[in-house]
Structure 1
Amino acid sequence: MSDTEASPELSLPHAVALSWGVAERPQRGPKRELSIERIVEAAIEIADAEGLGALSMAKVASALGFTTMSLYRYVTSKDDLLLLMQDAAATVELPEPPEDDWRTGLKQWTLANVEALRRHPWYSQIPVTGVPITPNVIRLVDMALRALRPARLSDNEKMACVLLVASYARAVGVVQAEIDGTGAPAEEVTGASYAPALAALITEDRFPDLAPVVASGAYTADDYDDFGFGLERVLDGIQRYIDETSHADASAGTTHAAAPALDREAEDAALYGSDKRVKEAAKARREAEKALREARKREREALRNARERAENMRAKAAR
């Protein structure tokens, strides 16, 4: 039997076959002291503590008290070990999703994935090479599809939604894990400790749109759930798509998507834009928008002046 064959019926890469338990395993000694599970567990402990760069077959063998060659009887390469580690780290437990609420279930799934990435920062450093083919990662996909069961979506659309939220979870998990790894206090992470300096450096003439955000305190705020907000908007997008489409003959796997609801205002503008009163109203709208932009500019100037006055007062008080 070749390394890429788990059985006459299955043809899988050796490490994938190992993850499914369908590959031949070496004959272990009478004490049965070493196993694939122990090797993977030790490797994960090293990667969690020291990072993926510190991981080697020799280091895993040393941690287990065996020779490096002993490990190769169980795991034939470091690449195989990484795949087995990735699958083992993908173990996530979730409550049963609501029967009629796909949104809550998918939100729970996404949050759980973020936390898994934070527990194992090295996970995202292993490149994505294709669709999931190991059991625990496939179980994650199955759990997401279970959450989406009540959603009126085709199979292709459900898989696209899983990829969408998984990508969002991966991006956020990577950032959170990197922040966790710095060990920096919250005020440094948010930039709050640098707020006065940032307010002085980020001026409206150089950064006209960011300056008022810094002045308002939103740039360094730590009491706003940016990730939660983004996730809700992603889920809003899926919900809107579901609302705007209909599907028929789901059992046959066919999908009949209804055309999105027409934007009535845009349609009317196209049909009646030449009407005299419509033109006058459109002109008034443009003038109002221009006035609003000017008002916002004055507001930014007022904020900058208020900030400068406050800084001058603090400077005088410190003398």
Structure 2
Amino acid sequence: MTDEQWGAAVRLLWGPPAKPARGPKRGLTLERIARAGVGIADPEGLGGVSMQRVAGELAVTKMALYRYVPGKAELVSLMVESAIPDPGVVDAAWAEVAEAEGWRGRLRVWARELLAGFRGHPWLLEATVGARVMGPRELGWMERALAALDGCGLTGAEAMDAVVLLTGHVRGIAEQERAAGGGAGAGAAGPDAQLVAVMGELMRTHGEQFPALGAALASVAEHGGQDQALEFGLERILDGLGLLVARRVGGADR
């Protein structure tokens, strides 16, 4: 984004947007425009979104749409803010987390809810990268994760890095699911299961070259455990954070 686009995005996301100096009375809302873009991106991805397409969905001219949104970059910013789940879902879920689970339980909930958001709108993975203006909802997700770590003895930089680490893990799982053509609950085998099936075929003819891999795949086939990458990685990240927290608060891993 250019400096001018940064300013436009801030006005659109944090409002109120500047009123046009001339032209007919505004008949659309930013919410309607964002929903129209999301309605295109969900089945087609961001590549299907254009100012022309969104204008057509709203039954207005492209020039009329430009009176509300300066361009596609700002349109995508509005779409992200509309599609990202309200971070209030985390607050509601936290109410069900046992007190004994402490910060670990809160971050588990946070990570699972974030993954659910990416699963619902896979194009968010592409739209939420790089330097850009973030809206209240997106910043709200970061706020919730940092709040979960409050009182753990971490510095602000460490807490931020912990959130980045967790987000990277969630995004990685969502990216794999997207590449595999679906995620949990999508009616198809998850990416781990698909990979195991493909490698299993290779091991039948080339297994002698990869004995450790063959043994691991045989164990998966016998005992299960595929498609648990989110939970396995999440617990290992939390274990590592727990060691740091324990050192900072004198041995209390909470």
Show the 5 A alignment for 1:1-319. 4=4, 13-26=7-20, 29=24, 33-92=27-86, 93-94=89-90, 95=92, 97=94, 101-126=102-127, 128-130=129-131, 133-181=134-182, 185-186=188-189, 190-191=193-194, 197-204=201-208, 206-218=209-221, 221=224, 225-246=228-249
Contact 2:193–2:226 (CA under 8 A) maintained in structure 1: no
Contact 1:187–1:193 (CA under 8 A) maintained in structure 2: no
Secondary structure of the residue aligned to 1:190 is: helix
**What one-letter code is carried by the residue in structure 2 that aligns with 1:201?**
T
Deviation at 1:219, TM superposition (A): 9.4
Find the aligned partners of 2:239 and 2:191 in 1 and give their Cα distance. Answer: 32
Deviation at 1:80, TM superposition (A): 0.9
Residues 87-127 of structure 1 deviation map (CA, whole Å, 9 limit, x = unaligned)? 22223322263667111111111111111111111111126
Find the aligned partners of 2:177 and 2:191 in 1 and give their Cα distance. Answer: 14
Higher Cα Rg, which structure: 1
Unpaired stretches in structure 1, ≥5 consecutive residues: 6-11, 248-257, 259-319
Find the aligned partners of 2:79 and 2:61 in 1 and give their Cα distance. Answer: 20
**What one-letter code is carried by the residue in structure 1 that aligns with 2:201?**
A
Deviation at 1:188, TM superposition (A): 8.8
Deviation at 1:71, TM superposition (A): 0.6
**What one-letter code is carried by the residue in structure 2 that aligns with 1:228?**
E
Residues 34-74 of structure 1 deviation map (CA, whole Å, 9 limit, x = unaligned)? 12111111000100011111111111111111111111000
Alignment root-mean-square deviation, CA: 3.1
1:187–1:200 Cα change, 3 Å: farther
**What one-letter code is carried by the residue in structure 2 that aligns with 1:211?**
G
Contact 2:81–2:138 (CA under 8 A) maintained in structure 1: yes
Contact 1:198–1:214 (CA under 8 A) maintained in structure 2: no
Contact 2:80–2:128 (CA under 8 A) maintained in structure 1: no
Find the aligned partners of 2:224 and 2:206 in 1 and give their Cα distance. Answer: 16
**What one-letter code is carried by the residue in structure 2 that aligns with 1:16?**
V
Find the aligned partners of 1:111 and 1:187 in 2 and give their Cα distance. Answer: 16
* Structure 1 length-normalised TM: 0.65
Unpaired stretches in structure 2, ≥5 consecutive residues: none
Find the aligned partners of 1:111 and 1:70 in 2 and give their Cα distance. Answer: 40
Report the more deviating stretch, 222-231 or 162-171.
222-231
Contact 1:52–1:122 (CA under 8 A) maintained in structure 2: yes
Contact 2:14–2:135 (CA under 8 A) maintained in structure 1: yes
1:222–1:46 Cα change, 3 Å: farther
Deviation at 1:169, TM superposition (A): 1.1
Find the aligned partners of 1:224 and 1:158 in 2 and give their Cα distance. Answer: 28
Larger RCO, structure (CA 8 Å, separation 6 or more): 2
1:185–1:156 Cα change, 3 Å: closer
1:155–1:228 Cα change, 3 Å: same
Secondary structure of the residue aligned to 2:211 is: coil
